[in-house]
């Protein structure tokens, strides 16, 4: 038993060392400050976002191409009287996973994000659909921040809300 515990402790230390090294390397990237300025994106998730979308500013010409690439943009199927919206099957699954965790983390980091999620739930969306919709909004704003080399501004991200202090700065 003591041997197994020693293995677990060693593995935990290795993971901690890898996370520290990843954060150190990521902090040296020119876009690290922009990515980490978004609430809910720490060095691990931000590095995953950067790894999936790349750092070429011309890769995604508008936010809709980034949304479609990530799979957060909905697919609407309509024929006659039937009309339904579903999730994309063809997508970058690693980026979709990061967006899911980012949207989930935003629920406690941003009042605007929480309000958007709650509205989607009240409209009848299931949890995952509401998170996907929130991630869709977040990616659009992140695209703007990266394209304009600007830090995340929660007030600009949720303009329909009355002026509120940025919870990250507090």
**Closest CA relative to residue 106, chosen from 144, 81, 128, 135:** 135
- 164 part of a folded domain: no
Q: 36 with 55, same domain?
A: yes
Q: What is the pLDDT of residue 90?
A: 82
- 153 part of a folded domain: yes
Q: 8 with 43, same domain?
A: no
pLDDT score of 4 more than 50: yes
Q: 4 with 35, same domain?
A: no
The single-letter DSSP state of residue 83 is E
pLDDT score of 89 more than 70: yes
- 110 part of a folded domain: yes
Mean pLDDT of the chain: 90
Q: Tell me the per-residue pLDDT of 109-156, one tens digit each, with 9 for 90 and over.
A: 999 999 999 999 999 999 999 999 999 999 999 999 999 999 999 998
- 170 part of a folded domain: no
Classified as helix, coil or strand, 63 is helix
Q: What is the mean pLDDT of residues 70-86?
A: 83
> Hey, which residues does 153 pair with through a beta bridge?
none
Number of domains observed in the structure of the chain: 2
Q: What is the pLDDT of residue 126?
A: 92
CA dist 32 and 30 (Å) reads 6
Entry pTM = 0.83
**How would residue 170 be classed by pLDDT, with cut points 50, 70 and 90?**
very low
Are the C-beta atoms of residues 59 and 53 closer than 8 Å to each other? yes
Q: 125 with 55, same domain?
A: yes
Residue numbers of the domain that contains 13 = 1-30
| Percent above pLDDT 90 for the chain | 74
CA dist 65 and 105 (Å) reads 24
Q: 107 with 56, same domain?
A: yes
- 125 part of a folded domain: yes
Q: What is the mean pLDDT of residues 72-81?
A: 84
Q: What is the pLDDT of residue 116?
A: 95
Q: What is the pLDDT of residue 57?
A: 78
Q: 103: number of CA atoms within 13 Å, CB side?
A: 26
Q: 50 with 73, same domain?
A: yes
pLDDT score of 81 more than 90: no
């Amino acid at each position: 038993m003591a041997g197994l515990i020693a293995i677990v402790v060693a593995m935990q230390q290795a993971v901690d060392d890898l996370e520290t090294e990843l954060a150190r390397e990521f902090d040296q990237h020119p876009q690290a400050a922009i990515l980490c300025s978004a609430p809910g994106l720490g060095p691990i998730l931000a590095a995953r976002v950067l790894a999936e979308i790349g750092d070429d500013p011309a890769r995604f010409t508008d936010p809709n191409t980034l949304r479609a690439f990530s799979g957060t943009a909905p697919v609407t199927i309509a024929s006659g009287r039937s009309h339904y919206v579903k999730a994309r099957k063809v997508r970058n699954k690693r980026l979709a996973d990061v967006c899911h965790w980012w949207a989930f983390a935003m629920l406690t980091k941003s009042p605007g994000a929480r309000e958007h999620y709650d509205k989607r739930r009240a409209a009848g969306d299931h949890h995952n659909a509401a998170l996907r919709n929130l991630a869709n909004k977040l990616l659009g704003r992140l695209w703007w921040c990266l394209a304009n080399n600007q830090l995340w501004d929660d007030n600009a991200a949720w303009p329909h809300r009355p002026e509120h202090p940025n919870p990250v700065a507090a």
